Amino acid sequence: MTTTKLRIAAFQRYPVFDDLQTVLTQLHTDLCWCQEQGVELALFPECYLLGYSSDAQVVARRAIATDSPFFKQVLQQLSAVNTDVILGFFEQRVAGIYNSAAVLRQGLLMGVYAKQYPNERGIMAGTASPVFEKSGYTYGINICNDANYPDCAAELCQQGARLLCYPLNNMLAPVTAEKWRSKSVDNLRQRAIETGCWVASADVVGKHEGKISHGCTCIVAPDGRVVARVTEGQAGVAVFDIG
């Protein structure tokens, strides 16, 4: 049996919209803290970079290509960080726009996962399930609505992933938010139990334009136990050494 440990941090953050510099400043602060705490992998919410939307026009405006000067600015400003970063954004590709999460390492783009079950207008469905390695630990990414589909998690597990990372954005109409308040956690626990993997999620929190997110940022053990969670309704971070 391996004795490898991986210190992960899942951040619950208030959403910021169309303000790259504010987000980068917060990311820099959070990642400097990660380095001080020995965190090796940091997870942030779905589409955290410029903000989430389900409106096709807004999505198109916020979509950026990974080879663009815009994205290179992100890489450059986070280049001094040793912690791996999972960062969500709307991604512009030749084929269309994807709801993606990038893995960044010391200013380099290690790879991108695109949401396979998008529920936003104008978004293409991803087809690949890449896995990544940090400190001898293999991990993969699913995004928000993907958590409702066991096949997404199973595909990562079959490729050797021992940790499943879920960027979330549960900013919803109040009645819907209440419905998903416990269901989001239940989904994550179920994916952990089915795959025997650790699960980490990072969600937004707060209110915006009549919608609310209570926050579902947690770390779940392979047996389904929630071993760390950020308090609902507050910004914060969940940290845990998984092994």
Relative to beta strand 6-12, strand 163-167 is: unpaired
What's the mean pLDDT in 154-173?
A: 97
For helices 69-77 and 20-37, angle between their N-to-C axes, nearest 10 degrees: 30
Closest CA to 185 of 219, 231, 153, 213: 219
pLDDT at 156 > cutoff 50: yes
Cα 116–156–237 angle (5° rounding)? Answer: 85
Residue 41 CA to residue 138 CA, distance in Å, equals 11
pLDDT at residue number 1: 43
pLDDT at 2 > cutoff 90: no
Host domain of residue 119: 6-242
- Whether 83 maps to a domain, the answer reads yes
pLDDT at residue number 204: 98
- Whether 1 maps to a domain, the answer reads no
pLDDT at 214 > cutoff 60: yes
The fraction of the chain above a pLDDT of 70, given in percent, is 99
What's the mean pLDDT in 157-169?
A: 97
What's the N-to-C CA distance of the chain in angstroms? Answer: 10
- Whether 219 maps to a domain, the answer reads yes
Closest CA to 159 of 128, 184, 193, 180: 128
What's the mean pLDDT in 209-225?
A: 97
- Whether 226 maps to a domain, the answer reads yes
- Whether 230 maps to a domain, the answer reads yes
Mean pLDDT (the chain, rounded) = 96
- Whether 15 maps to a domain, the answer reads yes
Residue 84 CA to residue 1 CA, distance in Å, equals 25
Band of residue 3 on the pLDDT scale cut at 50, 70, 90 = low
pLDDT at residue number 66: 98
The alpha carbon of residue 229 and the mean position of all alpha carbons in its chain are separated, in whole angstroms, by 15
Contact 12, 217 (CB under 8 A): yes
Buried b (16+ CB within 10 A) or exposed e, 99-120: bbbbbbbeeeebebbbbbbbeb
The alpha carbon of residue 72 and the mean position of all alpha carbons in its chain are separated, in whole angstroms, by 20
For helices 150-158 and 174-195, angle between their N-to-C axes, nearest 10 degrees: 30
What's the mean pLDDT in 154-165?
A: 97
pLDDT at 178 > cutoff 80: yes
What's the mean pLDDT in 131-149?
A: 96
pLDDT at residue number 155: 97
Closest CA to 154 of 100, 197, 189: 197
Residue 112 CA to residue 126 CA, distance in Å, equals 10
In tens, the pLDDT along 189-210 reads 999 999 999 999 999 999 999 9
Domain with 76 in it: what CATH number?
3.60.110.10
Q: Which residue has the tokens 């952990």?
A: 192
Say whether pTM exceeds 0.85: yes
- Whether 107 maps to a domain, the answer reads yes
Buried b (16+ CB within 10 A) or exposed e, 191-206: bbbebebbbbbbbbbb
In tens, the pLDDT along 56-92 reads 999 999 999 999 999 999 999 999 989 999 999 999 9
Relative to beta strand 198-202, strand 137-141 is: unpaired
Counting the structural domains of the chain, the total is 1
The fraction of the chain above a pLDDT of 90, given in percent, is 95
What's the mean pLDDT in 219-239?
A: 98
Contact 88, 101 (CB under 8 A): yes
In tens, the pLDDT along 27-59 reads 999 999 999 999 999 999 999 999 999 999 999
Residue 204 CA to residue 25 CA, distance in Å, equals 17
- Whether 187 maps to a domain, the answer reads yes
pLDDT at 109 > cutoff 90: yes
